Amino acid sequence: MSVLRFTLAALVFVTLYLAERKWPLRTFVDRGLRRVGVNLVIAALSFGAVALIYGTIVLGSVNWAERHGIGLLRWSGAPTVIATVLSVVLLDYTLWHWHWLNHRIPLLWRFHAAHHADLDLDASTALRFHPGELLLSVPFRVIQVVALGVAARPLVLWETLVLVFILFHHSNLRLPSRLDRLLGFIMITPRVHGIHHSRRPAELHSNFGTLSSVWDRLHGLRVTEVAQEAIHIGLPGQSDDRLGVLKSLAVPFQREAWRIGARDEDRNAAQSQ
Ligand SMILES: [Zn+2]
């Protein structure tokens, strides 16, 4: 990550961290600094471990595809501005599928569950990803950039937008309701993503968007009518014991009932609807 992007992320994080404590959307379950510290340590370990591999392999793939003239956008011959916009839109749409797959494929879910195991939700949760999840996302990112024919600059632009947007929609920031509804037409708001962190399977397995809210609507997986105070954040069946760094990193390797139970409850919920 460049110094500029790190500085931008740090500024956005600090601003949201202060704002969400002044204007909270949901009552904080855990106001302590320990939880935030755990999330930041996991972030440092994960991004530190994967950054070099990610950068080398993904940027290497972009350069390889460019040299060989491979990818939908290159074949389309679209002007640079159009290709840039389409790159961001199509990367966002394919990332929607990746997030959906993370909830459907047991191996991916094990690692993604470490992100969902946070018992509260704020800007720090946006950075809490297991290194295994980031590592597993590398082959998918290679397929994305090669198949779509995304150039290096649009890729960096999209990654920067993703960073800012995930900090924003994981935050516990209350927006004025009219602004929230207006933004919700095009993008994912904290209110909508909060529902994605619910323990109820029908809510947990909805709202997969990152930048745009269009994809959830397109696939009939957008859930908005949930009172924020009614959301119980975490995983189905998870205990309320706080997870430190090591226990969070151990989540994918445990065999608690909630991980298998989530799928069964999901099926039962779908059948009863
Ligand atoms: Zn998720």
Distance CA 12, CA 131 (A): 23
Instruction: Please list, in sequence order, all residues whose beta carbon lies within 8 angstroms of the beta carbon of residue 204, skipping any fewer than 6 positions away.
Output: 103, 116, 196, 197, 198, 235, 236, 262, 266
Average pLDDT over residues 186-197: 96
User: From ligand 1's centre to the CA of 103, what distance in Å?
Assistant: 6
* Mean pLDDT of the residues in the chain: 91
| 231-271 per-position pLDDT tens digit | 999 998 888 888 899 999 998 988 764 554 445 555 444 44
Span from the CA of 50 to the centroid of ligand 1 (angstroms) = 20
Q: Mind listing the pLDDT tens digit for each residue in 165-178?
A: 999 999 999 999 99
Please determine, for residue 100, whether its predicted confidence score (pLDDT) is greater than 60: yes
DSSP character at residue 173: B
Q: How far is the CA of 78 from the centre of ligand 1 (A)?
A: 33
The percent of residues above 90 in pLDDT, for the chain, comes to 78
CA–CA dist 64, 268 (Å, integer): 46
Place 38 in a pLDDT band, splitting at 50, 70 and 90.
Answer: very high
- Mean pLDDT (whole number) for 179-201: 95
Q: Which helix (H) or strand (E) holds 246?
A: helix 245-250
Residue with tokens 């209350």: 174
CA distance 223 to 4: 35
Average pLDDT of the residues in 122-140: 95
Q: What is the pTM of this model?
A: 0.90
What's the pLDDT score for residue 79? 94
